A and B are shown apart, each in its own frame.
Chain A
Amino acid sequence: MKLRYFAWVRERIGAAEETLEPPAAVETVGDLISWLRGRGEDYERALAEPNAIRVALDHDHAEHDAPIAGVREVALFPPMTGG
């Protein structure tokens, strides 16, 4: 699964993207965020407030309870500030 990070999530994690295979118990976006937080200080700092994290699954906005099975690309980012 490809993970992509944007804006301050990207800066805090220290990477724009990476490929990871989470364990089978990681079923939803929320599970994925919790699992990532356990990967180290940088992840913990980036994802400490899950409510502030927006998610896209294969380029579509998704909620934290969305399942990630079969998803190729998960993006995590702060609320958008375009326009």
Chain B
Amino acid sequence: MATIRTAITAEPLDIAGEIEAIHRGRTDIGAVVSFTGLCRDEAGRLDALELEHYPGMAEREVGRIARQAAERWDVTALTVIHRHGKIRPGETIVLVVAASVHRHAAFEAAEFIMDFLKTHAPFWKKEHASDGTPLGWVAAKIADDDAEARWVAD
């Protein structure tokens, strides 16, 4: 069974440290794939994203998505970390690291995890303008549902 690490945190993420940690001291890993989701400034319009989450359910749902990926692909280790709270442009919102013997399992597991985080993990984004005023909630995208659907379609 894969080694799984998941976390929900308000602290900035140590991307290099997490990638290194997933294979430190191990010689059975041949591939490490990482995905980093960053906050954009939307051409200077955005001062920050505020990520609201559902404490308790967010941890449970992220853990469940990681376990589903580990059951479906032959991965050696998975790390999934999602931030909440106020996030500035340039900062990391989400980090997925997947390690496997061969690369395909790691690529696909990371993509699956991102598609399910988008549609199943209880987080909501509110935009704040450059002058600090709240701009409103980001709407969910149909494209994200389509991305999730391809993992269940035969």
Query: Could you tell me if A82 and B54 are in contact, using CB atoms closer than 8 angstroms?
Result: no
A80 to B119, CA, bound (A): 6
Closest chain A residue to B58, Cβ basis: A82
The tally of residues in A whose CB lies under 8 Å from a CB in B reads 15
| Pair count A-B, CB < 8 A | 69
Query: Could you tell me if B53 and A82 are in contact, using CB atoms closer than 8 angstroms?
Result: yes
B106 interfacial by beta-carbon distance below 8 Å: no
A-B contact pairs, 30 of them (CB 8 A): A7-B126, A7-B137, A56-B54, A56-B57, A56-B122, A59-B56, A59-B61, A61-B120, A75-B54, A75-B57, A75-B122, A77-B124, A78-B124, A78-B137, A80-B118, A80-B119, A80-B121, A80-B124, A80-B140, A82-B53, A82-B93, A82-B94, A82-B117, A82-B118, A82-B121, A82-B123, A83-B82, A83-B121, A83-B123, A83-B144
